Structure 1
Amino acid sequence: MKLMICMDDTDNLESKGTGWLVEAACREMTAMGWGSYSMISRHQLFVHPDIPYTSHNSSMVFTAKTDVAPEKYAEFLSAYLETHSAPGSDPGLCIVPEPETETCKALISFGLRAKKEVLTKSQAYTLAEKLGIHLSEHGGTGGGIIGALAGIGLRLQGNDGRFRGWYHLGQAGSVMTAGELRSYESIEDIRTPDNAPIEDARRIRISDQLKTICMNGRSTLLVHPADSDGIHAVLAKEELKRF
Structure 2
Amino acid sequence: MQIVISIDDTDNLESRGTGEIASLIAEGLTEKGWGTASLVTRHQLLVHPDIPYTSHNSAMCFAAEIDEGAWEQVIGFAGEFLRRESAEGSDPGLCVVSLPGLRHTPELVEFGRRAKREVIAMPEAYQLAERLGVHLSEHGGTGQGIIGALAGAGLRLWGNDGRMKGSLTFARETVSVTELLAHPNVDEVRCVTGVQVSARDLVRLGEKPKTVLIGGASVLLVSAAESADVAWQTLHRRQLKDY
Q: TM-score range by the shorter chain?
A: over 0.9
Residue in structure 2 matched with residue 199 of structure 1 by the alignment: 198
Please say if residues 170 and 208 of structure 1, whose CA atoms lie closer than 8 Å, have aligned partners that are also in contact: no
The percentage of counterpart residues that share the same residue type is: 46
Question: TM-score scaled to structure 1, two decimals?
Answer: 0.93
Deviation at 1:240?
Answer: 1.8
Tell me which amino acid in the other structure corresponds to 2:128. L
Deviation at 1:226?
Answer: 5.8
CA pair 116-208 structure 1, distance change in 2 beyond 3 A: closer
Please say if residues 8 and 60 of structure 1, whose CA atoms lie closer than 8 Å, have aligned partners that are also in contact: yes
- How many residue pairs get aligned? The number is 241
Please give the alpha-carbon distance, in whole angstroms, between the structure 2 residues aligned to 1:166 and 1:46: 24
Residue in structure 1 matched with residue 214 of structure 2 by the alignment: 215
Please say if residues 6 and 94 of structure 1, whose CA atoms lie closer than 8 Å, have aligned partners that are also in contact: yes
What pairs with 1:88-107 in structure 2 (closer than 5 Å)? Answer: 88-98=89-99, 103-107=104-108
Deviation at 1:78?
Answer: 1.0
Residue in structure 1 matched with residue 177 of structure 2 by the alignment: 178
- Pair 1:236 & 2:236 matched: yes
What pairs with 1:69-218 in structure 2 (closer than 5 Å)? Answer: 69-98=70-99, 103-172=104-173, 174=174, 176-194=175-193, 198-218=197-217
Deviation at 1:55?
Answer: 0.5
- Pair 1:10 & 2:5 matched: no
Deviation at 1:208?
Answer: 4.8
Residue in structure 2 matched with residue 29 of structure 1 by the alignment: 29
Tell me which amino acid in the other structure corresponds to 2:16. K
Please give the alpha-carbon distance, in whole angstroms, between the structure 2 residues aligned to 1:113 and 1:120: 12
Unaligned stretches of 5+ residues in structure 1: none
Tell me which amino acid in the other structure corresponds to 1:109. E
CA pair 7-111 structure 1, distance change in 2 beyond 3 A: same
Partner SS for 1:224: strand
Deviation at 1:193?
Answer: 2.2
Please give the alpha-carbon distance, in whole angstroms, between the structure 2 residues aligned to 1:105 and 1:20: 29
Please say if residues 8 and 58 of structure 1, whose CA atoms lie closer than 8 Å, have aligned partners that are also in contact: yes
Deviation at 1:194?
Answer: 4.2
Taking only aligned residues, the RMSD between alpha carbons, in angstroms, comes to 1.8
Question: TM-score scaled to structure 2, two decimals?
Answer: 0.93
Deviations 1:69-89 (A, max 9, x none): 322211111111111111111
Please give the alpha-carbon distance, in whole angstroms, between the structure 2 residues aligned to 1:78 and 1:167: 30
Deviation at 1:227?
Answer: 6.2
Partner SS for 2:224: coil
CA pair 103-197 structure 1, distance change in 2 beyond 3 A: farther
